[in-house]
Structure 1
Amino acid sequence: MRLRTSDISARTIGGETIVLNLPSSQYFAITGIGSRVFQLLSEDRSVDELVTAILDEYDVDEDTARRDVETFVDRLRQAQLLA
């Protein structure tokens, strides 16, 4: 899975990622680990790859990382931000 880059605009400022879904004109503010997952999704990645990256970069246990990544990815899907 990866982001639908053709119809979203995103900027990261001070650790917060602001995303505009152009077709729906919806804004999203993403912070914390979500900002990093959002960046990682600029390339095609599986949930397992995302979890591994988060485990490598943050001091978090695997269960928490997996739960947070899966929840975030589900929200991106609901917002129709994934290809």
Structure 2
Amino acid sequence: MRLRTADISARTIGGETIVLDLPSSQYFAVTGIGSRVFELLTEERTLDDLVATILAEYDADETTVRRDVEAFVDRLSQAKLLA
């Protein structure tokens, strides 16, 4: 999975990523590990890749990270931000 990059604009300022979906004119604010997951999804990644990267970079347990990453990816999918 990866982000739909052709028609999404995103800027990270002070740890918060603001995402604008140009076709729908909707915007989203992403914070915390969501900003990092969003960044990682600019390239093709599997759910396991995302979880492994977050585990390597943050002090958190795998169950929590997997749950949070799955929920975030699900929200991106529902918003049709994934290719």
Q: TM-score, normalised by structure 1?
A: 0.99
Aligned positions, number: 83
State the match for 1:27 in structure 2.
27
Q: Where in structure 1 do 4 or more consecutive aligned residues deviate above 3 Å? A: none
- Work out the CA distance in 1 between the residues paired with 2:53 and 2:27: 26
What are the residue-to-residue correspondences of 1:45-64 with 2, within 5 Å?
45-64=45-64
Is 2:16 the counterpart of 1:16? Answer: yes
Structure 1: runs of 5 or more not aligned:
none
Query: Partner residue of 1:79?
Result: 79
Between the aligned residues of both structures, percent identity stands at 78
C-alpha RMSD of matched pairs (Å):
0.3
Supply the distance in 1 between the matched residues of 2:4 and 2:27 (Cα, whole angstroms): 15
Deviation at 1:21, TM superposition (A): 0.3
What is the CA distance between 1:73 and its match in structure 2? 0.1
Q: Any idea what SS the aligned residue of 2:12 has?
A: strand
| 1:65 and 2:65 matched | yes
| 1:24-43, Cα deviation, whole Å (9 max, x unpaired) | 00010000000000000000
